[in-house]
Amino acid sequence: MSAPGVPLLEIRDLEVAYGHVHAVRRISLRVNAGQVVTLIGPNGAGKTSTLAAVAGLLRPQGGQVLLEGRDVTGLPAHRAVEQGIVLVPEGRSILARMSIEENLVLAAEARTPRPPTAEQRRRVEAQFARFPVLGERRKLPAGSLSGGEQQMLAFARALLMSPRILLLDEPSMGLAPLLVRRVFDLVEEIHREGATVLLVEQNARLALQVSDHAYVLERGHIVLQGPSSELAADPRVQAAYLGGSTET
Amino acid sequence: MGQQIVNGLFLGSIYALFALGYTLVFGVLDILNLAHQAVFMICAYAALVLVVHLHMPIFAALPVAVLAGGLLGMVVDRIAFRPLRGRSDSNIAGLISSIALATILEAAVLQFFGPDVERFPFGTVPTRSIQIGGAVVSELQIVIIAIAVAMLLGLTWLLRRTRLGRRIRAVAESPKAARVLGVDVDRIISASFFVSSALGAAAGVLFGLAFNNVAPDMGRSVELKGLAVIVLGGMGSMPGAALAGVALGLLEVFTVAWIGSSYRDAVAFGVLFLVLVLRPRGLLGPAALREA
Which residues of chain B register pLDDT less than 50?
Answer: 288-292
- Between positions 141 and 170 of B, the ones with CB within 8 A of A are 163, 166-167, 169-170
Q: Tally C-beta pairs within 8 A across A and B.
A: 59
- Taking residues A5-28, what's their average pLDDT? 92
pLDDT at B279: 83
pLDDT at A117: 81
How far is residue A151's CA from residue A94's CA, in Å, rounded to a whole number? 9
Contact criterion met (CB < 8 Å) for B180 and A55:
yes
Contact criterion met (CB < 8 Å) for A106 and B176:
no
Phi-psi category of residue A234: left, alpha or beta, with phi > 0 → left and psi -120 to 50 → alpha = beta
Q: Among A78, A93, A113, whose Cβ lies nearest the Cβ of B176?
A: A93
pLDDT at B271: 85
Cα Rg, chain A, nearest whole Å: 18
| Percent of all residues in chain A with a pLDDT value above 70, rounded to a whole number | 95
pLDDT at A246: 45
pLDDT at A32: 97
Q: Among A106, A113, A161, whose Cβ lies nearest the Cβ of B170?
A: A106
pLDDT at B104: 96
Residue A248 CA: distances (Å) to CA of A54, A140, A152, A209: 29, 32, 20, 13
How close is the nearest chain B Cα to the Cα of A211, in Å?
A: 24
- In sequence order, the β-bridge partners of residue A218 are A221
Contact criterion met (CB < 8 Å) for A57 and B174:
no
- Taking residues A48-71, what's their average pLDDT? 95
- Worst-scoring range by mean pLDDT, A6-15, A237-246, B66-75, B235-244? A237-246
Give DSSP secondary structure letters for B219-238. Answer: HHHHHHHHHHHHHHH-TT-H
pLDDT tens for each residue of A69-113:
999 999 999 999 999 999 999 988 899 999 999 999 999 999 877
State pTM to two decimals. Answer: 0.91
**Are A169 and A200 spatial neighbours (Cβ–Cβ below 8 Å)?**
yes
What confidence tier does A216 reach under pLDDT thresholds 50, 70, 90? very high
pLDDT at B27: 86
Residue B85 CA: distances (Å) to CA of B70, B74, B187, B199: 20, 15, 13, 24
pLDDT at B20: 93
Query: Any idea what DSSP says for residue B214?
Result: B
**Are A46 and A220 spatial neighbours (Cβ–Cβ below 8 Å)?**
yes
| Percent of all residues in chain A with a pLDDT value above 90, rounded to a whole number | 79
> Which chain B residue is nearest to residue A93, measuring alpha carbons?
B177
**Are A59 and A15 spatial neighbours (Cβ–Cβ below 8 Å)?**
no
pLDDT at A96: 95
- Greater confidence (A20 vs A141) lies with A141
> Which chain B residue is nearest to residue A97, measuring alpha carbons?
B173
Contact A138/B at CB under 8 A = no
Which residues in chain B have Cβ-Cβ distances shorter than 8 Å to A102?
Answer: 166, 169
Contact B85/A at CB under 8 A = no
Contact criterion met (CB < 8 Å) for B177 and A57:
no
Contact A96/B at CB under 8 A = yes
Contact A78/B at CB under 8 A = yes
How far is residue B52's CA from residue B68's CA, in Å, rounded to a whole number? 17
pLDDT at A4: 65
pLDDT at B123: 80
Contact criterion met (CB < 8 Å) for B170 and A95:
yes
Computed over every residue of chain A, the mean pLDDT equals 92
Which residues in chain B have Cβ-Cβ distances shorter than 8 Å to A93?
Answer: 174, 176-177, 180
- Taking residues A22-47, what's their average pLDDT? 94
pLDDT at B46: 96
Which residues in chain B have Cβ-Cβ distances shorter than 8 Å to A150?
Answer: none
User: Above 80 in pLDDT, residue A114?
Assistant: no
Backbone phi, psi, residue A119, to 5°:
-65, -40
Alpha helices in A137-227 (DSSP H): 147-160, 177-192, 204-210
pLDDT at A3: 56
Query: Any idea what DSSP says for residue A20?
Result: T
How close is the nearest chain B Cα to the Cα of A11, in Å?
A: 20
Contact B234/A at CB under 8 A = no
Which residues in chain A have Cβ-Cβ distances shorter than 8 Å to B169?
Answer: 95, 97-98, 102
pLDDT at B290: 40
- Taking residues A21-31, what's their average pLDDT? 93
